Structure 1
């Protein structure tokens, strides 16, 4: 199954002096089990696009389907299906700690399941499970105030509150914004685990190409409400000129490897797409070893 955006456009405040086209003819398929990153500079339309995924915004034209269900229903019977479809898409907004409001971590995470009609036994099970997913010990943290935590921990609580609703699709809008390096690293590792180990479909919005390069299997680049690029990292990241038009830069690791290649180290195109420093180091080592072996062979032939 999938989330389908079919030629959607969206205009803020149409017919007024403040009218602004935020999305223009965007068509995109987000397959179940994937990790899709949506990149773009401020004002590119990426956050507006996100708010269409669970029906917070209705497209001016076009339609949004979640597992084949139109999120803008017309009939009464279709509205129930649309509500269920919306609930399958969990949304974690930028600065998610602003979503916290209860006195304890348990109560904050439990709010959503209770609102969905779960009994107290299931509520506790869901809170325990979601706290485990974000690496917060249940007994240690359950009765603590979320407002006494670090920024990274608060964001984990907010994420757990969404995970407790057991969404099929998880939407994250700039999830690492404002975090210190450790909080950012830990949260990205948690998001990666949710995708790899739990099979959660992730839709991840960021202007940080390094985070996207590390995690995503599909990359979408937005500019002024239009979709400039869409494809795998191997298809998107080499298009540096188009990426620059979107106000973005290639990942730092890819830039470094390109410079090393330009200095004479014979890296191949796949090596330039190494996602971690460890992979990059191995690629450089292989290239240098190959060069040294070739020099030895030429020296032996000359003798």
Structure 2
């Protein structure tokens, strides 16, 4: 039996993990209210010998981090270090979820796991610090970078497009940022497969296959629920300035994931179609 502890279980990825029923796998989850990962005593009490800890806890307010980097660093760097130290102490194994924001976003081919990092935001800096702290504290740990994660509910990009297609005649979406939309359900399945492979360690990338701009993703969402995709209009990043610069290019290579013998995540368009089909009618109408 593989015993998994999910931290940050109240988020979109953590919540999806808790809904999984996998033979031979026992999953327990702790939300940020249940466990403050910056509290070393509480973490030591929570992590049990032999656990696989899937750390989904993160400070993800990218723009807010620009003016509150200390708060972001506490959750994104200090907390993961504490989890890694607690895991190493009792013989547990940590799988830590990270982000494309650790890269500068100026590439033209998919980022490999050993490509030079160079975050341009406070959020990215704190996530990179967390990666380094985890790998230094626990030699059995795995860092999994992902990008553009959605469920289609709450306030993620897909959910926002579903809401806007009901509320507006047209929507402007940036067409000069490229990434790989990643369905949280597919990422959760990949992490659970990884959890059962104790020999895998180091840094991996996991996203749905393929690439798109936010504009292309928005049009796919509209088309997927029977709305006219022509209602989505392209614009540039400069048209929507944000406190934290968004990566122009954040496609992550899955080569290391596949070399580890893990199942590649399917094309993003296939995942999106299934995600939309599974949503309740009130969400898509």
TM value normalised by structure 2: 0.30
TM value normalised by structure 1: 0.28
Structure of higher CA gyration radius: 1
Q: Which has the higher helix share?
A: 1
